[in-house]
Amino acid sequence: MLSERMVKALNDQINAELHSAYIYLAMSAYFADANFPGFAHWMRLQAQEELGHAMKFYDYIIERRGRVQLTALEAPATSWETPLAAFEDALKHEQYISGRINKLASLALEEHDHATGSFLKWFVDEQVEEEASVDAVVQDLKRVQDYPAGLFMLDRELGQRTPAAAEEAGAE
């Protein structure tokens, strides 16, 4: 059984994961409006992946006989100066989520909740991949920022991301 403190922390993480999906969906809309269909597609799949993460927490709480409590989501930003600025914000957000996951893992250790610690290991590993994935796009955007043809090619490349790749990274 989960402690009240752990249930609250896990519910807070559901909110953070849903907010992540909201952020990436807003970024997808921004890119669609700016006529970058590949970037929009990449962000939309990222939003779906974050929804999958939220559902993992949701299901875990229920499985452990805790009570899921959903709360309001903060409105995300809706525009950025450049594609690079959007992806830099995405990287900062993934680093923030990594910090949250690390705090959850520390709480599980503190409470001697080994089952939750085991559950959270997947997320610890996943966040390493999440940060690396977004950082790779940031680095590519930095390389091509002064070359419109490079931006066009990167947009086309990111449009090739498949839902299967997102599922392998954690969406369900």
pLDDT tens figures, 57-91: 999 999 999 999 999 999 999 999 999 999 999 99
Predicted TM-score (pTM) of the model is 0.91
Tens digit of pLDDT for each residue in 116-170?
Answer: 999 999 999 999 999 999 999 999 999 998 899 999 999 999 999 988 654 554 4
Helices of type H across the chain: 4-33, 37-63, 83-110, 114-144, 148-158, 163-168
Statement: residue 98 has pLDDT above 80:
yes
CA 101 to CA 98: how far, in whole Å? 5
Instruction: Residue 165: count other Cβ atoms within 10 Å of its Cβ.
Output: 13
At residue 164, the pLDDT reads 61
State both tokens at 96: 């923030």
Statement: residue 95 has pLDDT above 60:
yes
CA 80 to CA 153: how far, in whole Å? 20
At residue 51, the pLDDT reads 97
Statement: residue 49 has pLDDT above 90:
yes
Range of the domain at 137: 4-168
Query: The CATH number of the domain where 44 resides is what?
Result: 1.20.1260.10
At residue 172, the pLDDT reads 39
At residue 171, the pLDDT reads 41
At residue 32, the pLDDT reads 98
Count: domains in the chain:
1
Statement: residue 22 has pLDDT above 90:
yes
At residue 169, the pLDDT reads 46
Statement: residue 31 has pLDDT above 60:
yes
